[in-house]
Structure formats: structure tokens, C-alpha cells
Amino acid sequence: MEKEKSTGLGFVLAAYAASRLLYLISGSLLARIVPTSGFQRITLDAPFGSMNTWSHWDGEHYVALAVGGYLNPPDNVSPAFFPLYPLLVRSCAELFGGPISEQALSVWGPLLSLLFLPFAFYFIYQIALNEFDEEVARGTVLTLAFFPTTFFLNAAYTESLFLALSAGSIWAVRVRSDLLLACVMAGLASATRNVGVFLMVPLLYEWIKDIESYRWRGIYLLMAPGGLLAYMGYLWARFGDPLLFYSAQKSWGRQATGPLDTAGRAWGSAVEGAGRLLDPGLWAHPALGDVADHLAGAGNLFNLSFFVFAVVVLLAGLRYLPLSLTVYGLLLVAPATLFGTPESPLMGTPRYVLVAFPLFIVLGLLSRNRPLFGGWLALSALTSLVLCALFVSWRFVA
């Protein structure tokens, strides 16, 4: 008699608890040890080193959006940020009767990210279990839990929510064979990040593959881009520009580019940044040197490294993963080559990679070689603590 597959819930919760405690405790300690960069203003911490430490960079924009709503561009960049996450942050604060202030919502943001993350872990575990076995499913969760940029899943960013919804969509259609639930979750994902529309690719594939069962239910696929379309409708009615979420990105110097042009600039900037990665000036007190130049140089090297790593792993996974999952993972990484800045051609890549969960299923296959897998986890966790130190001290953004 075939052994029944475990749900993996206990393992998922253990991996979640161990990894989040590691980054919450380490982040708080590192925020006190590493001199804070003067490159950017300080988040409203109350007190310094509290959960507010995780509301840096884009987290401030999400918090401000949750507090004050969308404001008129171009003086305000809030339309660049999608609505579901800040709406949930504000709703939770109101539900529990807390104050609607930047200080309070800077705590609610990370708390919500931490709340959604175990769901993401569980859905990804189940997808890997459905494709392979329990060993690979556990390896998949561990590679994600201790990936070099996984501390972003603690932050007041959309990564945890998007990962839960997008993985949940694939889980619903591949494991549960529930196209309706899959499309509803995809619609919510596209209200969280614009790349949620890429879920149309694996969902359409699943419908075609099993069209004899689904038949007319293919109409559910119209819901998959629903969140994006609803937000575009809101922007059109409110500001007269349905594509404002795209054009508002120009405030950061982002511009449409071609992959070949991006590749050339990314290589040049990464080579220049390589010399600054090990320079003590990267960690120096802001008063002692030009921290901004070191940050920009090291950041470009990080961006290219993560991009190449992700593409290589996903292409290697063609031998093992369903084609639809590989294509979906590549689609999530590809935007980095199309919309960067002259100074940072692959801007945002470490975060794009983090939500491309098929990548972690491929890495989970390393679990079949215990020594190799243990070495990868140790190196990955150590790298994550270094990057975490850069993040909490306002030195690293993706």
C-alpha cells in the first residue's frame, strides 16, 4: 500500500519560525551595530530597532499610502504602488482599533508580511510535493526560507503577500484542480504587483491541458488580470491615466530599455562595483566617506549576480519542472532587463528573483545530495545576514 503523503504543515511552520526569528533577532542587533547610512532618511522608529526597522525604503511608501491614500502625481509617487497590500495594512489597523499613523502602520506592515509568509511556504511545499517527493518539498522550503534576500519577506513590502497569492494560485490549479480558486487568487495577486498578470501563462496552460474537464470554465481566466484592470480603472477615473502605475516609475529614473542595452550597461556597472564590494568604505560611518558611491557600485554587482543566478537555475530546471512553471519563473525575472535606470540597469532584481518560486523548487532538488545541500544552505544563510545588515542600516535596497 502506497504511503500517504504528509501535508508538511509541521515542517513548514518550523522552517518559518526558525528563519523569521533568525532575521528578526539578527536584524534588530545589526541595526544597532552597523552605522546607519546617511544615504537616506531614517524610518520613523519607535523605538529604534523595533519592528519599524523593517519599514525601510519602499516600505515607507506603502506605509504613507496606507495612511493617506493615493495623492496627485507627479509631486507624489504613490500611484506607482499597487493597492492591495496597503489596503490590508490599514484595514488591520482599523479592525484592531489602533491609531492610523505612520509609526503604528510601520509596525502593522511587517506583521502582515509575517502573517502571509507561512501560507506562501505551505503552498510552495505542496506544489513541490506534487511534482516530486517530501525530501524535495522540504528542500524547497528551506532554500526559500534562508535565501540570501529572504529577509525582505519580513519587511513592509509586497513580497510575502504576492508569494502567498501567486503560489496559492498555482497550488489551487495543479494540486487541487480548482480553476476558479486559482483565478481568484491570481486576480488578487495582480492587485498586489503588476507581474501578477504573468499567472495567466500557467493557468491558461492548465486549462488547455485539461480542457475536457474544465471546458467552459476557461471563462474564469478573465478574473486572473482582474486586480490590475481594476486598479487601471481607478487610476483612469481618479487621475485620468490608466497607465500611471507605469509612468510614475520615472520619478526614480526608470526608463524602458532593451535587453541587449541593459546587458551591456549591467556588465559595465557590475565590473565597476566589484571593486567596491570588499571595500571597508561600504560599512564606514557616513561621516567618514562617500557611502552612496559604494552602495551604488555594490548594488549593481548584486543585481547582475542575482539575475544570472536565477536565469541559469531556471533554465537548468527545464529538465525537471513543468514547462509552464519554468516560463512563469523566467517571466517574473525578465522585467529587470526592460525597465531599469541608467545608474542601476537591473534595479530590483533581488526582489524579482525572490518571488519566482519555481527557482526554489529547482534548488530543492539539491536536497538529494546532503553534503551539497548543507553547504548551499550555510552559504546562503551567511550571505543573507550580510545583506540583512546592509538593509537595516539603509545601505541595500532592491
Give the other-Cβ count within 10 Å of 42's Cβ. Answer: 12
First to last CA, the chain: 49
| DSSP H or E segment with residue 79 | none
- The per-residue pLDDT for range 302-345, each reduced to its tens digit, is 788 888 899 999 999 999 999 999 999 999 998 877 776 666 66
**63-to-88, 215, 381 alpha-carbon distances in Å:** 11, 43, 28
Count of the separate structural domains present in the chain: 1
Q: Where are the alpha helices (DSSP H) in the chain?
A: 9-33, 58-68, 84-95, 102-131, 134-145, 159-174, 179-190, 200-209, 211-214, 226-239, 244-247, 259-277, 291-316, 323-333, 349-354, 358-364, 370-392
What is the Cα–Cα distance from 251 to 245, expressed in whole angstroms? Answer: 11
Cβ contacts of 7-10, under 8 Å, gap ≥ 24: 7/126, 8/122, 8/125, 8/126, 8/129, 8/134, 8/137, 8/138, 8/141, 9/122
Per-residue confidence at 267, pLDDT binned at 50, 70, 90? Answer: low
Within a domain: residue 28?
Answer: yes
pLDDT, tens digit (0-9, with 9 covering 90-100), for 269-278: 666 655 555 5
| CA separation for the pair 302, 336 (Å, rounded) | 13
What does pTM read for this prediction? 0.90
Domain assignment present for residue 163? The answer is yes
Selected residue with higher pLDDT from 348 and 352 = 352
Between 243 and 279, where is the model more confident? 243
pLDDT at 53: 80
Q: Is residue 161 very low, low, confident or very high in pLDDT (cuts 50, 70, 90)?
A: very high
Q: Examine residue 136 and state whether it is found in any structural domain, yes or no.
A: yes
Q: What is the pLDDT of residues 116-159, one digit of tens each?
A: 999 999 999 999 999 999 999 999 999 999 999 999 999 999 99
Ranges 68-72, 99-103, 384-388, most confident = 384-388
pLDDT of residue 48: 47
Q: Is residue 144 part of a domain?
A: yes
In a domain, 351, yes or no: yes
Looking at residue 2, its pLDDT comes to 41
pLDDT exceeds cutoff 80 at 5: no
Q: How far apart are CA 349 and CA 305, in angstroms?
A: 9
Q: Could you give the CA distance from residue 94 to residue 377 in angstroms, rounded to a whole number? A: 40
Assigned domain for 61 exists: yes
Mean pLDDT for the stretch of residues 369-380 = 95
* Concatenated DSSP letters of 36-78: PPTTSPPP--SSTTSGGGG--THHHHHHHHHHH----TTT--G
For residue 397, being part of any structural domain is answered with no
Domain that holds residue 235: 9-392
Angle at 148 between CA 146 and CA 152, to 5 degrees: 85
Among residues 308, 24, 15, 29, which one has the least CA distance to residue 146? 15
| Residue range 100-109: mean pLDDT, rounded | 86
- Whole-number CA gyration radius for the chain: 21
CB-based burial of residue 168 (10 Å sphere; 0-12 exposed, 13-18 middle, 19+ buried)?
A: buried
Residue with cell 546592509: 390
- Give the range among 52-56, 59-63, 98-102, 276-280 with minimum mean pLDDT: 276-280
In a domain, 240, yes or no: yes
Cα–Cα distance measured from residue 127 to residue 34, given in angstroms and rounded to the nearest whole number: 39
Question: What pLDDT is attached to residue 38?
Answer: 52
pLDDT at 297 over 70: no
Residue 264 has pLDDT above 80, yes or no: no
Which pLDDT band, with edges at 50, 70 and 90, does 288 fall under? very low
Give the residue-averaged pLDDT of 48-58.
70
Per-residue pLDDT for 6 more than 70?
no
CA angle 235, 239, 245 (to 5 degrees): 45
